[in-house]
């Protein structure tokens, strides 16, 4: 996750230099887009499961009767593993660089 944070911090600083600051929602979406579809998302999920911070969605409900489950979310979008609490922590840890 450190790689993602460093990349995100660098991107936010470049956007700030271009006089294009981002809102909390935009920053969170940017972070999610970085991990979306990457192997990093599985590492985050494993860490969260180990520390009892994440319950996999595939175990939450049984959709065996649903034949049209082709459009089901595969869980690799990052929206369920990177949330507002992570963003607050990220901003807190990097408050000197981001000058929030």
Q: What is the 8-class DSSP label of residue 57? A: G
CA distance 60 to 52: 15
For the chain, what is the radius of gyration of the CA atoms? Answer: 16
pLDDT at 87: 93
Averaged pLDDT in 10-residue chunks for the chain of 100 residues? 90 93 92 90 86 69 47 56 90 87
Q: How far apart are the first and last CA of the chain?
A: 21
Element (H, E) at 25: helix 24-35
Name which of 31, 54, 52 is nearest 42 in CA terms.
54
Residue 23: what pLDDT?
92
What is the per-residue pLDDT for 51? 83
Q: What is the pLDDT of residue 60?
A: 52
């Amino acid at each position: 996750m450190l790689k993602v944070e460093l990349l995100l911090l660098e991107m936010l600083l470049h956007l700030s230099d271009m006089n294009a600051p981002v809102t909390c929602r935009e920053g969170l979406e940017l972070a999610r887009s970085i991990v979306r579809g990457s192997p990093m998302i599985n590492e985050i999920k494993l860490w969260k499961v180990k520390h009892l911070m994440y319950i996999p969605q595939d175990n939450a409900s049984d959709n065996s009767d649903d034949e049209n489950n082709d459009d089901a979310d595969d869980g690799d979008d990052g929206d369920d593993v990177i949330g507002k609490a992570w963003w607050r922590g990220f901003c807190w840890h990097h408050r000197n660089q981001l000058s929030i």
